[in-house]
Structure 1
Amino acid sequence: MPYDLRPAALADAPAVTDLLNAIDLREIGRPETDLHTVVADLKHPETDLTQDSWLAFDGDRLVAYGLLWDESGGERIDVDHYVLPEHQEAGLLVLEAMETRALAKARENGAERAVVHLHLNVRPTLDTDLLRTRGWAVVRRYHVLRRPLDPTTDLAPSLPEGVRVRPCTTEEDRVRVHALHQSSFARHFDFQPRGYAQWLHDIGAEGLDWSLVWIVDTDDFGDSGFLLARNDREAMGWIRSIGVLSEARGRGLAGLLLRHAFAAFAARGRGMVGLGVDTSNDTGAPQLYARHGMTVHYAVDTWEAVLR
């Protein structure tokens, strides 16, 4: 079956959102993709839509979508890939185009190879045999966790002596949260250093409710950790990231921030909260979330290809 392949534009965001929600229904049983998320992806500062995006059409119907971005300035390249299960040939066309562009982009950066990462549901609509035959392999697994909220029991926690939690209300606070994020995540798998302006785009700062971003500080360590949440997902409140500096870990600060976020979302009438976690995280995060009642919603694998 012939497919029409062309780059995406911002005007295609509603069609891409519809496609991703159709795939959500197949993979996790409910649509959970919001239009503003797709728009933010298409506006990624390290993406040139004319070269780094692909839409595959069967007649007038969008059946596959791909996006590429480069945050490393080196060999590491990221891609997204979505395809309806009955249109694997279109998925292959998009995959081939992304691989070609990824290698070219890495070479533009002065690298001899491209190390490409793709996140897929563990039961994706893409036929993973297409990936394996092209040398892709799973290198990491993430869990999307969720937890129901109850405004009568999810109340703001009491703060231990010498510990304070403040909302991120000033530009100085925002700069501090960026620094805490870069420091606390520096040793995490696949971390890419991001400057302040890049990070602001990553978190969608223009539309972010900064009252859902908190900093925890202590008498002995000063500003020690942060939690960044957002309330613009239809499916659930979302904790985008939570981090504590290595020297301040083991003191219950992450759990304190987590309970603080639960209380804030419950007070706003949200019935569910979610977050994503690397299952191989060695800071104890998966165990922390389990202790706080979070359970697996679905799982995502990181696939990697090394292209030369």
Structure 2
Amino acid sequence: MPTPAIRPATLADAPVITALLNEVDLIEIGRPETDQHTVEADLKHPEADLDRNSWLAFDGERLVAYGLLWDESGGERVDIDHYVLPDHQEAGQRILAAMEERALGRARENGAGRAVVHLHLNSSPTTDTALLTARGWTVVRRYHVLTRPVDARQDLAPEPPAGVRVRACATEADRAVVHKLAQETFADHFDFQPRDYDHWMADIDADRLDWSLVWILSVDGVGDAGFLLSRDDREAMGWIRTLGVVREARGRGLGGFLLQHAFAVFAARGRDTVGLGVDTSNTTGAPQLYGRNGMTVHYAVDTWEAVIG
């Protein structure tokens, strides 16, 4: 069998990358859930540098493995995506080796002496994890993708608690508030990387975001105290990307209120499912909050780590 050809990706490759990711989805979770626009958002990100940080492996005309590297830390922490079909592990290993080498180079460009690389994989991935372990990779965290059915007849808009108001993110000033709240409420979370406003806007693919599905919650005596950022451009389900409440306003049921608000809005828009991702070791009680509000595990994702250099 000839060795698969490897080259960098371009934005024009988005359709074949999407097809590969959906083939992986079908194997790992039983149905395709990757939308092309999410792939395009990664490829067109202003920090992407595809010539140096992306890899495609083809077996003839068929894409069999894909890798993408990015650096949000400006230091030693580097992230990668890695997808491979089960019967093409050798091509996947070639891409992984190239990404490891590039990650160390990127970290050294940042002035770091080593690279701490993270990779998110389904808990039962198409990647042969024995090959990862042999290269020194270990699992350091687990996340759950949770889902909940919604129904417009049952999921009605909740009444806000006393002294609490919620507003849609309608202005540029509101967007700046959401950015500030996101940086503050996630600062202590595992693997959080601070992002300035412009980089955060690129991270959330703001050009495609329906800002009417982003809400700010204010509390008497505290001010703007929480937010929920969601989007309705995924074919599989409505999606809650981030939800945060500042420390001084926690314990008042505000996270649950924002969740119920989002469920009602998505149900009214005709959605039947809402999903989100959560760190299972989150110390703010988020997994318990989501469970109390009817969300259950759709699938699990592991964070793998390698220290290189």
Normalising by structure 1, what TM-score?
Answer: 0.99
Distance in 1, matches of 2:101 and 2:47, equals 17
> How many angstroms apart in 2 are the aligned matches of 1:197 and 1:258?
27
The 4+ residue runs of structure 1 with deviation greater than 3 A are none
Q: What's the counterpart of residue 75 of structure 2?
A: 74
Residue equivalent to 1:8: 9
Matches within 5 A, 1:154-303: 154-303=155-304
Cα displacement (A) at 1:60? 1.2
The superposition leaves residues 155-189 of structure 1 with CA deviations (integer Å, 9 ceiling, x where unpaired) of 11011221100000011100000000000000000
Aligned-partner residue type, residue 277 of structure 2: G
Could you say which residue in structure 2 is the equivalent of 1:95? 96
Question: What is the alpha-carbon distance in structure 1 between the residues aligned to residue 137 and residue 48 of structure 2?
Answer: 23
Percent identity, aligned pairs only? 72
Q: What pairs up with 1:36-55 in 2 under 5 angstroms?
A: 36-55=37-56
Deviation by residue 1:123-157 (Cα, 9 ceiling, x = unmatched)? 00000011100100000000000000010110110
Pairwise mapping of residues 120-135 of structure 1 onto structure 2 (< 5 A)? 120-135=121-136
The C-alpha deviation readout for 1:23-57, integer Å capped at 9, x for no partner, is: 00000000000000000011222221001000001
The reply on whether 1:304 has 2:305 as its aligned counterpart is yes
Q: Distance in 1 between matches of 2:172 and 2:76?
A: 33
Superposed CA RMSD in Å reads 0.6
Distance 1:168 1:297 in 2: 29
Distance in 2 of aligned mates of 1:220 and 1:117: 40
Once residues 160 and 307 of structure 1 are traced to their aligned partners in structure 2, the CA distance between those partners, rounded to angstroms, is 50
Query: Which AA in structure 2 matches 1:128?
Result: T
Q: Which 5+ residue runs of structure 2 have no aligned equivalent?
A: none
Per-residue CA deviation, residues 223-273 of structure 1 (Å, 9 max, x unaligned), is 000000000000000000000001111011111100000000000000000
Aligned amino acid, residue 9 of structure 1: T
SS at match of 2:264: helix
Secondary structure at 1:86's aligned position in 2?
Answer: helix
| Amino acid aligned to 2:194 | P
Q: Matched residues in 2 for 1:302 and 1:126: separation? A: 13
Aligned residue pair count = 308
Residue deviations 1:201-222, cap 9 Å, x none?
1111111000000001011111
Q: Distance in 2 between matches of 1:34 and 1:289?
A: 25
Checking the alignment, whether the CA contact within 8 Å between 1:44 and 1:69 is kept in structure 2 is: no
Deviation at 1:3, TM superposition (A): 1.1
User: Whole-Å Cα distance in 2 between the matches of residues 214 and 267 of structure 1?
Assistant: 16
Superposition pairs for residues 146-161 of structure 1, below 5 Å? 146-161=147-162
In the alignment, the residues of structure 2 paired with residue 163 and residue 123 of structure 1 have an alpha-carbon distance, to the nearest angstrom, of 42
Taking the aligned partners of 1:46 and 1:306, their CA distance within structure 2 comes to 22
- Distance in 2 separating the partners of 1:43 and 1:181: 23
